[in-house]
Chain A
Amino acid sequence: NAGVTQTPKFQVLKTGQSMTLQCAQDMNHNSMYWYRQDPGMGLRLIYYSASEGTTDKGEVPNGYNVSRLNKREFSLRLESAAPSQTSVYFCASSEAGSTLGWPQHFGDGTRLSIL
């Protein structure tokens, strides 16, 4: 049982390049999330998908787009990477019915460096 799988685990980009971070969960969860973690900043929500077919902005959505491809997969796209987007990105999922606060299960992260 893999849980939440993120690919790639590491990536180095040049400023202006584009990239898609992939996330898949095998727990049949309804809700999925993308966070970024920066030193001293904790986890900040970029986008989330409460259920298949819906997406919403979180706290720091600028510079990102997302796609809920199906119930299992939720991708995060950087159209034109900037050094400020250097971070560790975490994908998470939760059962969530009407309450999005249900415990979230996290992947192991994608470490992204933008030069």
Chain B
Amino acid sequence: DQQVKQNSPSLSVQEGRISILNCDYTNSMFDYFLWYKKYPAEGPTFLISISSIKDKNEDGRFTVFLNKSAKHLSLHIVPSQPGDSAVYFCAASERNTPLVFGKGTRLSVIA
């Protein structure tokens, strides 16, 4: 059973608009959440993280929101740029266990 779910396989957004990528999880013991970005033929790169004691973390154009009661997190990219086109993976872990990854969402930012 999938513990981390990214229900949208793909998303298209116009350049300059907001991109919102969503992630749901089932394990209430998860206490650390991350987003990774992956370009073709490269390894995933860490983008932003949030711990369960927070509900928002911001880094430049990227903001991650965590709603623990709904077991939901989202990544907002504002404004979206063509270079943001990639596959985005949500990941989560509980203390002393490895990360669990979602299946990814392919973001296309259209100029």
Interface residues of A (CB under 8 A from B): 4, 33, 35, 40-45, 48, 58, 90, 92, 98-101, 103-109
Establish whether residues B43 and A101, one from each chain, have CB atoms under 8 Å apart when the complex forms: no
Q: With both chains docked as a complex, state the minimum distance between the C-beta of A51 and any C-beta of chain B, in angstroms.
A: 12
Given A33-B98, A41-B103, A42-B89, check contact A103 B42 (CB 8 Å): no
Interface residues of B (CB under 8 A from A): 6, 9, 31-32, 34, 36, 41-46, 49, 89, 91-104
Establish whether residues A42 and B104, one from each chain, have CB atoms under 8 Å apart when the complex forms: yes
Nearest 8 A-B pairs (CB), nearest first? Answer: A106-B43, A101-B93, A42-B103, A101-B32, A43-B101, A103-B46, A42-B101, A108-B43
Secondary structure of the B contact surface, majority rule: loop
Given contacts A42-B104, A48-B98, A103-B49, 19 further A-B contacts (CB under 8 A): A35-B101, A41-B103, A42-B103, A43-B89, A45-B99, A45-B100, A58-B98, A90-B43, A90-B44, A99-B93, A99-B96, A100-B97, A101-B92, A103-B34, A104-B99, A106-B44, A108-B42, A109-B41, A109-B42
